[in-house]
Amino acid sequence: MASTLKIALFFSIFCIFRLSPITSSKPHPLDSLTASELLLVRAVVNQSYPSSNHKLTFQYVGLDEPEKQLVKSWLSKPTTKPPPRQALVVIRLNEQTHEIIVDLSKRSVISDKIYNGFGYPLLTIEEQEAAADLALKHEPFLASLSKRGLNISEVICSTQTIGWYGEEKTKRELKVVCYYLDGTVNMYLRPIEGITMAVDLEEMKISQYIDRAVASMPKAEGTEYRASKLTPPLGPRFNGAPPTPPGQTGFKIDGNIVSWANWKFHLGFDARVGPVISLASIYDAEKRTYRQVLYRSFISELFVPYQDPTEEWYHVTFFDCGEFGFGISAVPLEPLNDCPANAVFVDGYYAGQDGNPVKVSDVMCIFERHSGDVMWRHTEAELRDQEIREVRPEVSLVVRMVATVGNYDYILDWEFKPSGSIKFGVGLTGVLEVKAVPYKHTDQIKEEVYGTLVADNTIGVHHDHFLTYHLDLDIDGDANSLVKTNLVTKRVTDKSIPRKSYWTVEHETAKTEADARIKLGLKPAELVVVNPNKRTKPGNKVGYRLIPGSAAGPLLAADDYPQIRAAFTNHNVWVTPYNKSEKWAGGRYVDQSRGDDTLAVWSNRNRGIENKDIVLWYTMGFHHVPCQEDFPMMPTLSGGFELRPTNFFEYSPVLKTKPPQHLSWPNCTA
């Protein structure tokens, strides 16, 4: 993550203020690799393979995080020497995958292993672009365009992963799909159907080309979304956000440690998963100390299976983190629109295919959210001789990133509340993945089309989004347990009482991983991660409760190949013992993986999880049946979940929150 942070404050007539670069505190063991460290890794690895005959590409470079106990030991005595700083490097070299550990202080490779298992590493942007460019020079494809009367200058090509469908042997390949502009920049809404094309990434040549049939082309009219190009009738116009006084961010940043209200946490950035929130602790005013909540959290994987099983579409099932990388796919955020006026913007870096650092400017923003909601309130309505009313406005701190993976934009939020809650939000927007068809009205459709007719000749294909979060909770320490608080209906046995029933709770502690595999929505229950060794004054175990979003699970058959690879979505909740190597739910090598290294496989070991250092995994799902309102640009579909303190504090941590002083601000002058 960049050491330079910028704050852009826009208000009144768009006065712009930027903070000078701040001075970072000493490096933290969980800091993301800096640009200079990425250059060092590149130099060390290239020095190990100096021959120009080697075809070496960097597929992933990230922090090889120290073991948790080493980090915690250093945190208890930060004046001591920090744990060794190391990088995990995955390269392709002469058609083999190498896993390399580089010790940054020693400037040397301390481990180099060849991976011989199934699956391939994270794809680079460079190889995807090179594969797509091959199509534009491929003579059979040029002939196909001519047959369709299409102009090559208006054609744009992209790539898709091919998945795995039972093949004994595989090779690194990508599908290439192409689109036609000619009057629009909204390329995904004008697919050139009827063509199957694949590229061998090792040889970097077209390995398959089939032109099956000429399909209808959806029209460009009605697909424009750029504000400068829109024509009447226009939609509603909104007032600008209220002004923010200069410098009033409400939080502090020291290096990569963010402090706000009663929270502090470490913020990182990773090529594969994007934002990484670590060491989230909340200040307990009663105990006068910060208490641990969350050691490390990130989106581990995003599974997006489309539901068209036809020849050209059956392979369209994506694993966005493990195949394309959320960090690699992250885009710069736009002040005032992506983030409000009081946001601080943070740069990020990842390693390109040649190992050189790639900077993503303004890749994350941090801001205080004044939502207009109420944190808490009460009116003593029954005290007739007094008017007693107390209200506190809801204020929270948000960390945001946007990843654009092909046609979809994912808005990723981590929201910290003074009440102790952490809300995890995701917004889905962008452009539908569509299929060209000959139909212009639903009455014409006499066959299964696997989606919704959203415009002339345009089917929005059914699909899912499953986001799996890695949540390494350390509730007041790292020895934790998962307690299922089941809500059970009871009959009233006292015949003198007219009530016939009530509900109560029965607590069940998960002892092994099998006990903690949970499909939500089957029966009423609350899930609480507790520290069984810590109790409140009344004797309750301190804990944090998972408040899930809508319960959605996979609808694919369990033996379908995409679902075998995505078996980590079979349950909404999993709990595993902490293991540094178990962080990517779909496995380390997801491209063409076979499901033999997933969260589901790890959980089958059925290890003990009671009163242990445990990791909670939560999968949030969306079943998307497209509709016309999703065309040509999809309004954001939002979802999320919450981690909420449950008997963690002795009383409400926001009881004594002071109401804000509402001041009038002076006019902005240049």
Q: For residue 151, which of 198, 193, 183, 186 has the smallest C-alpha distance?
A: 183
Provide the Cα torsion 197, 201, 207, 212; round to 10°: -10
Q: For residue 522, which of 551, 560, 496, 493 has the smallest C-alpha distance?
A: 551
Q: For residue 401, which of 329, 351, 297 has the smallest C-alpha distance?
A: 329
Which stretches of 201-315 are assigned E, i.e. beta strand?
205-211, 251-254, 257-260, 263-270, 274-284, 289-305
**Helix ranges (DSSP H) in 5-77:** 35-48, 68-76
The active-site residue, picked from 64, 320, 597, 630, is 320
Q: What are phi and psi of 70, to 5 degrees?
A: -65, -40
Identity of the residue numbered 269:
F
What is the layout of strands, in order, in the sheet containing 501-509?
5-7, 344-351, 357-379, 389-405, 408-416, 422-430, 634-646, 541-547, 525-535, 481-491, 501-509
DSSP state of 661: P
Q: Are 364 and 356 in contact (CB under 8 A)?
A: no
Q: Are 413 and 425 in contact (CB under 8 A)?
A: yes
Q: Are 175 and 160 in contact (CB under 8 A)?
A: yes
Q: For residue 648, which of 525, 556, 540, 569 has the smallest C-alpha distance?
A: 540
d(CA 562, CA 598): 13
Q: For residue 370, which of 391, 390, 344, 397 has the smallest C-alpha distance?
A: 397
Cα 426 to chain center, whole Å? Answer: 8
For the chain, give the longest Cα–Cα distance. Answer: 91
Task: Based on the residue annotation, tell me whether 225 is a catalytic residue of this protein.
Answer: no
Burial class (CB in 10 A: 0-12, 13-18, 19+), 10: buried
d(CA 57, CA 59): 6
Q: Are 527 and 508 in contact (CB under 8 A)?
A: no
Task: Based on the residue annotation, tell me whether 408 is a catalytic residue of this protein.
Answer: yes
Query: How many beta carbons lie within 10 A of that of residue 148, not counting itself?
Result: 16
d(CA 418, CA 264): 11
The active-site residue, picked from 306, 350, 408, 578, is 408
Q: Decide: helix, strand or coil at residue 137.
A: coil
First-last CA distance in the chain: 32
**Which residues fall within 8 angstroms of residue 191, CB to CB, at 6 or more apart?**
177, 178, 179, 218, 434, 435, 436
Query: What tokens appear for 595 in the block?
Result: 């499901």
Query: What tokens appear for 132 in the block?
Result: 């797509």
Q: What are phi and psi of 653, to 5 degrees?
A: -70, -10
Query: What tokens appear for 149 in the block?
Result: 């009367």
Q: For residue 566, which of 297, 316, 318, 307 has the smallest C-alpha distance?
A: 318
Cα 608 to chain center, whole Å? Answer: 28
Active-site annotation, residues: 320, 408
